[in-house]
């Protein structure tokens, strides 16, 4: 394959239509020209041109198999492969013009091939249909992009683990209902997202198994009477397996839906993370300082520094959810086997791939540059009576039933609110007024760092548990 070039540089398809019926590759049984509106309405080259590399890769493998099986001559097979490589070079270099009247990427390439090498080009489509060809192109594309996204997700996860390591002992308030709940380690909070990333990675790798199946050779829907060797093609294209039912292979897009669903979950997690970035960057929270390079200003309010990156990740999540619903809806009423509706799968798929890659890329770069305000985080963790549960658990350790201890601790909080005191500022005699079980050692559990370090239960927020998580992630950076 030729060296990589910017996709933008390649010539996009022109807007003109109106080709003669005779010029269509399928024009044999037609006597009238295709109407211009129909060409404009049915074309897909304006977006499926992105599949050119996979279309050519698949065609070369197909031609080799046809030559090897003696279905076409070895000479024609190598002419075809050579012609296709030259076309790939032209596309890469921006020298290829995609033509709308040729409808889609498959026919654009096939007709360029015949123009280039003559009648041998007409043999490429032997024992193949565009129905299995597009299924192949999509699977090759998705296999490559799912691997790219997996790499980006591992990088994002790595940025989370590194931020956790860097802030390993910073205490912050943990929230439920967005109300201060119990002190936690910032690293524990960040590593929660690393767990989500691990599950996202596992989902992508599960989807990959079902993407990595060869559909080519299913032909239009029924297979072929020619003696093809699908397993040979699968080996050439590094597919793990060959599809077992030709009607299923040309007509299902569940692998696309599964990928978009996995992507929707990735975006949901990124969106939650982004929401926290937005909150934490606000003056009200003031937990983080966003790097200038990752914030934007206001055209009217000179003082503003806005978390637009995080907001856009949150906003773009809607696109991916929309793409998922789009695909599910396209599929729900389709009878077997191929239907042209399936052409509509590309835009939601491409948009999902582009959106997830962009979101992961920008967040992975922004995360290491975020400044966490340690003192502010720690100071806030002490406020809001967030160690009231520790007070109750203290009484449990002294023998009081939890429900009773909860009541005592609640009354202590009420008293502290009325007297405008923090729990740590109460005297032992004041506490003894609520229960005789309180002793001087109660003050050991009331400070936020002590509260955190007492949470030694497996998966808890104590430092020992957090460092176990970090070790685990370091050992297996991505599942
Ligand atoms: N552009 C079509 C698609 O994306 C390719 C297959 C067309 N097949 C057909 N019989 N019209 O699905």
Spatial separation of the C-alpha atoms in residues 127 and 124, rounded to whole Å: 9
Cα–Cα distances in Å, from 175 out to 130, 308, 446? 54, 24, 18
Check if 298 is active-site: yes
Closest among 106, 108, 131, 100 to 37, alpha carbons compared: 100
Residue 104 Cβ < 6 Å to ligand 1: yes
Residue span of the structural domain in which 433 resides: 382-475
Of 6-10, 75-79, 203-207, 474-478, which gets the smallest average pLDDT? 6-10
Q: Which of 134, 138, 337, 350 to mutate to test the pocket of ligand 1 (most atoms within 8 A of CB)?
A: 134
Closest among 293, 287, 265, 284 to 193, alpha carbons compared: 265
Distance from residue 72's CA to the centre of ligand 1 (Å): 25
Report whether 385 contacts 416 (CB < 8 A): yes
Spatial separation of the C-alpha atoms in residues 205 and 266, rounded to whole Å: 13
pLDDT surpassing 80 at residue 477? no
Q: Are residues 328 and 413 in the same domain?
A: no
Q: Is the pTM of this model over 0.95?
A: no
Distance from residue 343's CA to the centre of ligand 1 (Å): 6
pLDDT surpassing 90 at residue 367? yes
Q: Are residues 292 and 170 in the same domain?
A: yes
CATH classification at residue 94: 1.10.275.10
Q: Are residues 339 and 199 in the same domain?
A: yes
- Residue 120 forms part of a structural domain: yes
pLDDT surpassing 70 at residue 54? yes
Spatial separation of the C-alpha atoms in residues 57 and 184, rounded to whole Å: 52
Counting the structural domains of the chain, the total is: 3
pLDDT surpassing 90 at residue 471? yes
pLDDT surpassing 70 at residue 14? no
pLDDT confidence of residue 25: 79
Of the pLDDT bands very low, low, confident and very high (cuts 50, 70, 90), residue 128 is very high
Average confidence (pLDDT) over 332-355: 98
Q: Which of 39, 132, 216, 342 to mutate to test the pocket of ligand 1 (most atoms within 8 A of CB)?
A: 342
Residue nearest to atom 11 of ligand 1 (CA): 340
pLDDT surpassing 50 at residue 21? no
CATH classification at residue 391: 1.10.40.30
Q: Are residues 369 and 233 in the same domain?
A: yes
Average confidence (pLDDT) over 390-416: 96
For residue 64, what are its two tokens? Answer: 């080799």
For residue 104, give the ligand 1 atom closest to its CA: 1
pLDDT confidence of residue 12: 54
Q: Are residues 329 and 414 in the same domain?
A: no
For the chain, what percent of residues have pLDDT higher than 70? 95
Q: Which of 126, 150, 174 is the last residue of a domain?
A: 126
Q: Are residues 181 and 274 in the same domain?
A: yes
Residue nearest to atom 2 of ligand 1 (CA): 343
pLDDT confidence of residue 27: 80
Distance from residue 278's CA to the centre of ligand 1 (Å): 44
Q: Are residues 178 and 61 in the same domain?
A: no
Average confidence (pLDDT) over 343-354: 98
Q: Are residues 219 and 290 in the same domain?
A: yes
- Residue 150 forms part of a structural domain: yes
- Residue 197 forms part of a structural domain: yes
Q: Which of 327, 352, 378 is the last residue of a domain?
A: 378
Of the pLDDT bands very low, low, confident and very high (cuts 50, 70, 90), residue 1 is very low
CATH classification at residue 266: 1.20.200.10
Of the pLDDT bands very low, low, confident and very high (cuts 50, 70, 90), residue 403 is very high
Residue nearest to atom 4 of ligand 1 (CA): 343
pLDDT surpassing 80 at residue 478? no
Catalytic residue among 97, 177, 218, 282: 177
Q: Are residues 388 and 365 in the same domain?
A: no
- Residue 400 forms part of a structural domain: yes
Cα–Cα distances in Å, from 392 out to 166, 182, 267, 380, 419? 32, 13, 39, 21, 20
- Residue 351 forms part of a structural domain: yes
Q: Which of 102, 126, 150 is the last residue of a domain?
A: 126
Q: Are residues 427 and 369 in the same domain?
A: no
For the chain, what percent of residues have pLDDT higher than 90? 88
- Residue 30 forms part of a structural domain: no
pLDDT confidence of residue 20: 43
Catalytic residue among 269, 298, 364, 464: 298
Q: Are residues 240 and 333 in the same domain?
A: yes
Q: Are residues 191 and 59 in the same domain?
A: no
- Residue 111 forms part of a structural domain: yes
pLDDT confidence of residue 83: 98
- Residue 29 forms part of a structural domain: no
């Amino acid at each position: 394959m030729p060296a990589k070039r910017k996709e933008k540089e390649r010539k996009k398809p022109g807007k003109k239509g109106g080709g003669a019926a005779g010029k269509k590759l399928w024009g044999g049984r037609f006597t009238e020209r295709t109407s211009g509106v129909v060409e404009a309405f049915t074309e897909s080259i304006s977006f499926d041109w992105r599949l050119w590399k996979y279309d050519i890769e698949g065609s070369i493998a197909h031609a080799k198999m046809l030559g090897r099986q003696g279905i076409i001559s070895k000479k024609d097979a190598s002419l075809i492969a050579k012609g296709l490589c030259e076309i790939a070079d032209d596309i890469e270099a921006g020298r290829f013009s995609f033509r709308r009247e040729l409808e889609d990427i498959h026919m654009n390439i096939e007709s360029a091939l015949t123009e280039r090498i003559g009648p041998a080009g007409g043999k490429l489509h032997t024992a193949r249909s565009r129905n299995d060809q597009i299924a192949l192109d999509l699977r090759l594309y998705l296999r490559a992009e799912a691997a790219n996204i997996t790499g980006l997700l591992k990088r994002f996860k790595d940025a989370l683990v590194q931020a956790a390591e860097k802030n390993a002992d910073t205490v912050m308030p943990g929230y439920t209902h967005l109300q201060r709940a119990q002190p936690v380690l910032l690293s524990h909070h960040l590593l929660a997202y690393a767990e989500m990333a691990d599950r996202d990675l596992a989902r992508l790798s599960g989807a990959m198994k079902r993407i990595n199946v060869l559909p080519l050779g299913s032909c239009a829907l029924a297979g072929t009477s020619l003696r093809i060797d699908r397993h040979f093609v699968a080996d050439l294209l590094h597919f793990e397996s060959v599809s077992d039912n030709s009607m299923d292979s040309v007509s299902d897009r569940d692998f696309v839906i599964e990928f978009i669903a996995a992507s929707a979950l990735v975006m949901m997690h990124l969106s939650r993370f982004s929401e926290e970035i937005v909150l934490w960057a606000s003056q009200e929270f003031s937990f983080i300082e966003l790097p200038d390079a990752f914030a934007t200003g206001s055209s009217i309010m000179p003082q503003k520094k806005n978390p637009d990156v995080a907001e856009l990740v949150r906003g773009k999540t809607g696109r991916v959810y929309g793409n998922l619903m789009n695909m599910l809806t396209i599929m729900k009423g389709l009878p077997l086997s191929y239907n042209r509706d399936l052409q509509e799968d590309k835009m939601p798929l491409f948009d999902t791939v582009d959106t997830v890659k962009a979101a992961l890329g920008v967040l992975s770069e922004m995360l290491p540059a975020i400044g966490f305000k340690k003192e502010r985080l720690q100071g806030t963790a002490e406020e809001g009576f967030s160690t009231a549960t520790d007070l109750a658990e203290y009484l449990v350790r002294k023998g009081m039933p939890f429900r009773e201890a909860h009541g005592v601790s609640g009354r202590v909080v009420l008293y502290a609110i009325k007297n405008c005191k923090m729990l740590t500022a109460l005297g032992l005699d004041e506490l003894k007024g609520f229960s005789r079980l309180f002793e001087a050692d109660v003050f050991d559990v009331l400070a936020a760092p002590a509260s955190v370090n007492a949470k030694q239960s497996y998966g808890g927020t104590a430092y020992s548990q957090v460092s176990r998580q970090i070790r685990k992630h370091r050992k297996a950076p991505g599942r």
